[in-house]
Each structure stands twice: as C-alpha cells, then as structure tokens.
Amino acid sequence: MSRTPSRSSPAVVSGASSQPQPQPQRRSPRAADGPSIAGVAEQAGVSVATVSRVLNGHENVRPATRDRVLAAIDASGYRVNELARNLRTAESRLLLTMVPDFGNPFYAEIVRGIDSVARRHGYFMLLCDTGADPGRERSYFDMLRRRRADGAICLDPATIQQALGEASQALPWVACCEFDPQMGVPYVGIDNYRAAGDAVRHLLTRGHRRIGLINSDIDYLYARQRQQGYLDALSDAGIAPDPRWRMNLNSLDYEAGASAAAGLMLQPDAPSAIFAVSDTLAIGVIHGLRSVGKRVPDDVAVAGFDDISLAAQIDPPLTTIAQPMRELGETAARLLLQRLANPQANVPGVLLPHRLVIRGSA
Amino acid sequence: MSRTPSRSSPAVVSGASSQPQPQPQRRSPRAADGPSIAGVAEQAGVSVATVSRVLNGHENVRPATRDRVLAAIDASGYRVNELARNLRTAESRLLLTMVPDFGNPFYAEIVRGIDSVARRHGYFMLLCDTGADPGRERSYFDMLRRRRADGAICLDPATIQQALGEASQALPWVACCEFDPQMGVPYVGIDNYRAAGDAVRHLLTRGHRRIGLINSDIDYLYARQRQQGYLDALSDAGIAPDPRWRMNLNSLDYEAGASAAAGLMLQPDAPSAIFAVSDTLAIGVIHGLRSVGKRVPDDVAVAGFDDISLAAQIDPPLTTIAQPMRELGETAARLLLQRLANPQANVPGVLLPHRLVIRGSA
DNA sequence: GTGAAAGCGCTAACAG
DNA sequence: CTGTTAGCGCTTTCAC
C-alpha cells in the first residue's frame, strides 16, 4: 500500500528547486517578453495607431497595409498586452461570481450558466468562494472598487448582502438565488415560498401528517421563505406544526443532514416525512435515516430541493423541487451585462419557475 | 404547481429595462469614478509619489505626512486602480486554473486548495472550465500570453496539454493530476499505476476473479496508468484479463457509470466486482447495478477512486482510493508560485501518497 | 523625506 | 487612409 499522507513532506520525485519558500518577485517591466505594439509598428513600417486599428478590426485601413501589419504580428509572435488595453479602456472584462460554497453541486450548474453567457459576451468569470464570510465577501466587493473586475454576481446569504450596505448600492452587481427585493439590486431567483409549499403539499398528499423540516442557516432568505412555505402549507391543512420537527443547520454538507435526521428520529413522536431544503442535505438525511434503521420511503419519506444531477442516482431516487439552475445563472449574467451596458437603467427582478419532481423517496 | 420552465420568457416581476439586448458600451475613461492618486495628492498637499509610497507601505515617509495622506484617502474614499498598477508592475496577480469539468466534486476540493494558497500569496484565482476542449484550453493559455494572468494550473487531459506543444513550454504553468513527466513542465499528482493496483488487489483479496474496469477517456494519462495497474495486478494474480470486462467512457457523469454497469452485467460471464476509476462513476455504477437487480456488494462488489465526500454517504458506502485532493491543489499552487518567483529554476515534479479506504461496497 | 518626471503599452481624438 | 500625440493611473528612479 502507500505511505500515510503527510502534509509536510511530499515526495520529491525529480528535479529540485533552489527556492523552497515561494517568494514572488516582481516581473521586470522591461522583461524580454516579446514585442510591444511599437515593435510591430516599426517592423511593418507603420505607426502604432495603424497597428492598433488592425488589432481592433477598424474599417479604415487599406488592405495592403493591413496585410503588412498582420504579417509583422505573425512574424514577431506579438500578443496585445491586455493590462495596457484595460487601463486605457477602463474595463477589465472580468466578472466576479461569489458563492458561499463551490463544493455544492447546486452552484456548479448555476456557475456554468453564468460562465457561458459571460464568455459569449467577451467576459471572463472569476469564481470566488466566500465561505459565506462577510469579510471575504467585502474583500471581493473591493475588487470592484479597485477596478479588478467590471461587475459581480452574488449568491451569498441575503443577510451578508445587506451587511454590505448602501456603500455597495452603486456598484455594478446583481443578486442570484438570494436577494432582498427591497434592496434595489437586480436579482433573479425562484418563488421559494411556493416551492416549499409544493413540496410539503406533496408529502401531505401522500398521507403524512408529521412532517419534519431540515433547514439551513436562517441567514439565508431562502431558508426563511421555505420555512414559511412549510409552516403555512401545514397550517392550511389543519396541522399545528410542532417546533420539535424543525432543525436549522449551518451547513449543507451531507454529514450535517445525516446527523440531523438521526437526531430527529430520537424523538418519541418522530416525523414520518422530512422535507430538506437542499438535495445535499436530503441525501445526507437518507443516509442518516438508514444508519438508525429507518427505511426510505417506507418508514420515513424524504423530499429535497434543487434537483442536482445526483438526486436521480441515489437509492431511493430523490423526490425534490427542481430549480432551473442553468437558467438562473444565465439570467443573472444577462442582468449584470444589462446593468453594465446601461448603468442608470433600472434592471428588473426576475423570478423563474420551479417544478416538483416526484421520484422514489417520497 | 408552476409553469413549465421556458428559456425564452423569464417572468419579469418588477422594473423594466430600456436595453433588451445587452450591448456593453465602453465605460468612459473620464467617468466620475472617484478620485485618482492625483486627487488624493492634491488634497493632502503632497506629490503623487508620496501617496504611492504610503499606499505601498514604504519606509521613508514622515509619520506626519503619512497621516495626512491617510486622512485624504479616507476622506475621498479613494481606491487604487489596480489596472494601472498592474500595467506598471507588469503583473496581473491572477492565476488560472483549468479543469475539464468543474461539476465534478473531485475538482472542487483541489480548487479549494489552490485558491487558499493563491490568496495567501496575494493572488486571485480564475477558474476555467475547459470541458476538455483543446480550443478552449488554447484560448485560456492565450490569457497568459496577453498578460491577463500571471500563471496557470492545468488539470486537463495530458493529451491536450501535449497538443499545446512547445509553444507553451516557456509559459508559466504547472500540471496537476494529469501530467507527462517528459514534458518538462512542473507537476503534482499521485502514482496512479500503484493506486489502481492497490484497488484491484483488494478486490482479489475479497475472492473476486472476474473484475471489471470502468475507465474514463483514454486521453487521460491517469486512465492509461490505472488501466495498466489493473491489468498487471490481474496478471500477477495469474488471471488473464478479459477485454470484455473493460469499458472506456467519455464522461465521468453518474449516468455514464450507471449504463456502463448495466451493460457489463448483460454478458454471460459478467464480472463479480467492478473497479471504476472515479467515485462519480462508481456511484453511477451502484445505481446501474441496482437497476438491473444486482445487490452491492453481495452480487457485485464496487470500488471507486478519489474519495470525494459523497463516497461515505451513499448506500453502501464506497470502498475507494483516496487522493489527497486539498494537498494536490495546494502543492500545485506552490509549484506555480515558485516558478513565478524564479522562472529559470527547474521546479520539481511531485507525487503525493494515496490511500485505500475500505467501506461497504467492496 | 519628498517631488518631478519618465514611462508601462495601448487607444482615441485630431490632423493631414 | 494614416500618423502624431495625449493621456489612462500608477510606480519608480533620480535629484534636491
């Protein structure tokens, strides 16, 4: 077998470094880094302005000249220095996406959506894992102020967004999934209240009366909205929700769901169904249920939320609320691009439809 | 319930945009964007050089002057324009990380490792999903040439890395997980050959003789190495590997694993154990096995590779080879930083230890 | 200690 | 059509 992993002593297999501690030193401004636009101009026998024109595809260049420039570019292996271009045009063509945890598959698909429209519009996307930490969040917002990025999409808890306060109001950003309509920031999300109600009503339809809720941190607006949807759906059915059926977790990890479910089952009058506000949680719940000898859905039914691709793969397949993840990301990116194009226009808030997906778990 | 999702018509809930098609226009260079360093200098009654000095924490500034500058900065809400700074210092402080599919949880943890050391060294990390597409790969490498980024970490298939050819040899990048030692590019990874052998030998120990291999695209060096490890382990045990037990998939999705496993079971003399080269595949395999009525591990044992956090959660818990994902990422980032700090130093290739984790599936 | 001035490489008027 | 020129905002010698 292999040695036990050891942080301190990776096995050096070949070569050697003369610099054990990485201590980046500034790259010399005058490094032999290939030619600048001036070099190309000289080589082609034209002015830098002309080179710039062909670089940017302007019309007013005689074909012969253009060809000469192109040849010079080719011969010299020239590449524009975007740093310089960006300074001149006052834009970085970089978009920030801030997520609380990019290990969660839910975000992966959203981020793909953002990335695809960003790229289609000539922007690159920088993915930032904030860990739902206000400090990190703030430091990323600072990138906007420092012109490191042109705009941002924030998926962090609404509470954190609010903490940024009015100071950030004017910055070019939009909220995705988590948003406070009052804040005046463009947003895209779903109707969490109704979606949660749909899930609970499905459980009700299946004959369940004791329905537990495994919720995430209440810092998330979606957590509050889904809880309300759950509460009201129960009340509407003439059921008085027992507070002991509800749990709030500060993590969406599988493990968190597993131990929460196991805990819930310890109660004398334990729920016969559990609604978890995230598929990752729900998958953990199923695991936790099994660990205390409960069968799903026979002993306890489980419903999740998001419909990540994994949901259909586990045993039993997960009944869940599908969010249009890809579309959420795409819309967020489009809203941001709109705002960038037209800073003073008021950009809409958008709600996308969700869908109940019934599988084996409930 | 809700309407069916529709790509073309998101429900606009509030506000309205005057610009339906995002058509970014250049931000005016002279925008009212807060003061520049010159403004601060004027306000503090000093030169821009002095402001720059306090900004960068240089020693030779009289405390009184420093305070005056700091006050001016504070009062004006000044933020350095990193675009300008970057042009001047000829570095972007941006690192690229290229992954073939960032939906795979395996990469998430590696990327976290990269991100943490990058940030600790004052760099931001741009995550790029190449989809294992050479064209996208190339375009990201171009960011290095255009100075959009200072360095890159590539997790894409070795075949693609090689396709980049010598042209990229001089660029500041390192390979992670996928690497060709011959290429002269710094790398970090594990001993895939031995790791695969360890997995297969474990299956052998459990008494299995007919062991299937569900492999990924052979473009990946790891796929070839793990296959060889599998083959040799079998041969060493005096078993002639049946080619019908082997499958190559061009995806690591759960679905791919599921249908591959189902297919494998159709054979007359189907394997009694399956080694999948990725946990995501293995999870799909278990699902696929179940769908054709096979129990795991009683009818068919399953071993995976990676040890993503999900592996312990599914039923049955997955026996797998653990890769030190976090450490792989951290090491890759450190190697890159080393290379940046000292371009001509030859940076080492590093192999990190793996570990067999025995759970319920095999 | 502090200031003046020279660029980093590029784009965009403005002339011609 | 093409060239000249003036910066974008910052860092960094080089004087004083």
The CATH topology of domain A192-322 is Rossmann fold (3.40.50)
The string of pLDDT tens digits covering residues B274-319 is 999 999 999 999 999 999 999 999 999 999 999 999 999 898 999 9
Question: Does residue B68 come out as left (phi exceeding 0), alpha (psi in the -120 to 50 range) or beta?
Answer: alpha
Q: Does residue A252 carry a pLDDT above 60?
A: yes
Segments making up each domain of chain B, as ranges: 34-80, 89-190+326-351, 192-322
Q: Please report the number of interchain residue pairs, chain A to chain B, with beta-carbon separation below 8 angstroms.
A: 293
- Contact: B148, A90; criterion CB under 8 Å: no
Percentage of chain B modeled with pLDDT above 90: 80
Q: Do residue B87 and residue A83 have CB atoms under 8 angstroms apart?
A: yes
Question: Which residue has 């749909």 as its token pair?
Answer: A198
The model's pLDDT over A236-247, given as tens digits with 9 standing for 90+, comes to 999 999 999 999
Return the pLDDT at A29: 37
Sequence-distant (≥ 6) Cβ neighbours of residue B177 within 8 angstroms: B110, B155, B188, B189, B190, B222, B328
In B137-272, at which residue ranges do the beta strands (DSSP E only) sit? 151-154, 173-176, 187-190, 211-215, 246-248
In angstroms, the Cα distances linking A57 to A53, A62, B31, B147, B361 are 6, 12, 25, 21, 59
For B317, phi and psi rounded to 5 degrees? Answer: -55, 145
Closest CA to A126 of B309, B95, B48: B95
For A294-315, what is the mean pLDDT?
95
pLDDT of residue B103: 85
Lowest mean pLDDT among A38-42, A319-323, B23-27, B191-195: B23-27
Contact with chain A for residue B180, Cβ under 8 A = no
Tell me how many helices (H) and strands (E) chain B has.
12, 13
Is the CB of A112 less than 8 angstroms away from the CB of B89? no
- Residue B121 to residue A24, Cβ atoms within 8 A: yes
pLDDT of A10 above 60? no
Mean residue pLDDT of chain A comes to: 89
Q: Specify the range with the lowest mean pLDDT, choosing from A18-32, B43-57, B249-263.
A: A18-32
Smallest Cα distance from A64 to chain B, Å = 26
Does A28 have pLDDT greater than 80?
Answer: no
- Measured in whole angstroms, the distance separating CA A240 from the mean position of its chain's CA atoms is 36
Residue A177's region, left for phi above 0, alpha for psi from -120 to 50, else beta, is left
- Whether the CB of A93 is less than 7 Å away from nucleic strand C comes out as no
Query: What is the predicted pLDDT for the residue at B23?
Result: 33
Enter the pTM of the model. Answer: 0.88
Whole-number pLDDT of residue B334: 97
Q: What percent of chain A has pLDDT over 90?
A: 80
Closest partner residue to A81 (CB to CB) among B1, B109, B146 is B146
pLDDT tens digits, A125-139: 999 999 899 999 999
pLDDT by residue (tens digit) across B22-46? 333 334 433 447 899 999 999 999 9
Among the partner-chain residues A28, A126, A253, the one whose CB lies closest to the CB of B124 is A126
Could you identify the residue written with the tokens 């058509």? B23
pLDDT band per the 50, 70, 90 thresholds, residue A22: very low
**Three-state secondary structure call for residue B220:** coil
For range B222-246, the mean pLDDT: 97
Looking at chain B, the whole-number percentage of residues with pLDDT higher than 70 is: 91
CA distance A284 to chain B (A): 7
B26 neighbourhood in chain A, CB within 8 Å: 89-91
pLDDT above 70 covers what percent of chain A?
A: 91
Beta partners for B215? B248
Query: Residue A261: is its pLDDT beyond 80?
Result: yes
Phi, psi of B84, deg, nearest 5: -65, -45
pLDDT band at A163 (very low <50, low <70, confident <90, very high): confident
State which residue of chain B sits closest to A327, comparing Cα positions. Answer: B7
Q: How far is A194 from chain B (nearest CA, A)?
A: 8
Q: With 0-12 CB in 10 A as exposed, 13-18 as middle and 19+ as buried, what is B165? A: exposed
Cα A177 to Cα A190: distance, rounded to the nearest angstrom: 7
Average pLDDT over residues A177-195: 94
pLDDT of A144 over the 90 cut: yes
Average pLDDT over residues B327-345: 94
The token pair that represents B20 in the structure block: 């339906």
How many Å from the CA of B58 to C1' of D12? 12
The most confident of A85-89, A312-316, B14-18, by mean pLDDT? A85-89
Burial class of B166 by CB neighbour count within 10 A (0 to 12, 13 to 18, 19+): exposed
DSSP state of B244: G
Fold of A89-190+326-351: Rossmann fold (3.40.50)
Q: Do A126 and B129 touch (CB under 8 A)?
A: no
How many Å apart are B55 CA and C3 C1'? Answer: 16
SS3 at position B158:
helix
Mean predicted lDDT score pLDDT of chain B: 89
pLDDT at A19 over 80: no
d(Cα A85, Cα A94) in Å, to the nearest integer? 13
Q: Is the confidence at residue A91, as pLDDT, over 90? A: yes
Residue range A327-344: average pLDDT?
94
φ and ψ at residue B301, rounded to 5 degrees:
-90, 150
Q: Is the CB of B76 under 7 A from strand D?
A: no
- Sign of the CA dihedral A320, A322, A325, A328? negative
Instruction: Kindly state whether A253 is in contact with chain B, defined as any CB-CB distance less than 8 angstroms.
Output: yes
Per-residue HEC secondary structure of chain A comes to: CCCCCCCCCCEEEECCCCCCCCCCCCCCCCCCCCCCHHHHHHHHCCCHHHHHHHHCCCCCCCHHHHHHHHHHHHHHCCCCCHHHHHHHHCCCCEEEEEECCCCCHHHHHHHHHHHHHHHHCCCEEEEEECCCCHHHHHHHHHHHHCCCCCEEEECCCHHHHHHHCHHHCCCCEEEECCCCHHHCCCEEEECHHHHHHHHHHHHHHCCCCCEEEEECCCCCHHHHHHHHHHHHHHHHCCCCCCHHHEEECCCCCHHHHHHHHHHHHCCCCCCCEEEECCHHHHHHHHHHHHHCCCCCCCCCEEEEEECCHHHHCCCCCCEEEECCHHHHHHHHHHHHHHHHHCCCCCCCEEEECCEEECCCCC
Alpha-carbon span B278 to B217, nearest angstrom: 12
**Stretch A255-260: mean pLDDT:** 95
Strand A349-352, strand B11-14: pairing: antiparallel
Asked if residue B6 has pLDDT above 60, the reply is no
**CATH fold match for the domains A34-80 and A89-190+326-351:** no
pLDDT greater than 60 at residue B10: no
Of A313 and A331, which is predicted with more confidence?
A331
Q: Bin B295: left if φ > 0, else alpha if -120 < ψ < 50, else beta.
A: beta
For B34-80, CATH gives 1.10.260.40
A36 touches strand C (CB under 7 A): yes
CA separation for the pair A346, A225 (Å, rounded): 25
The answer to whether the beta carbons of residues B113 and B329 sit under 8 Å apart is yes
Residue A118: pLDDT band by 50, 70, 90 thresholds? very high
On whether the CB atoms of residues A248 and A215 are closer than 8 A, the answer is yes
Mean pLDDT lowest among A39-48, A159-168, A292-301, B131-140: A159-168
**In this structure, what token pair is assigned to residue B131?**
């989809």
B292 Rama sector, left if φ>0, alpha if ψ -120 to 50, beta otherwise: alpha
Identify the band that residue A59 occupies on the pLDDT scale cut at 50, 70 and 90.
Answer: confident
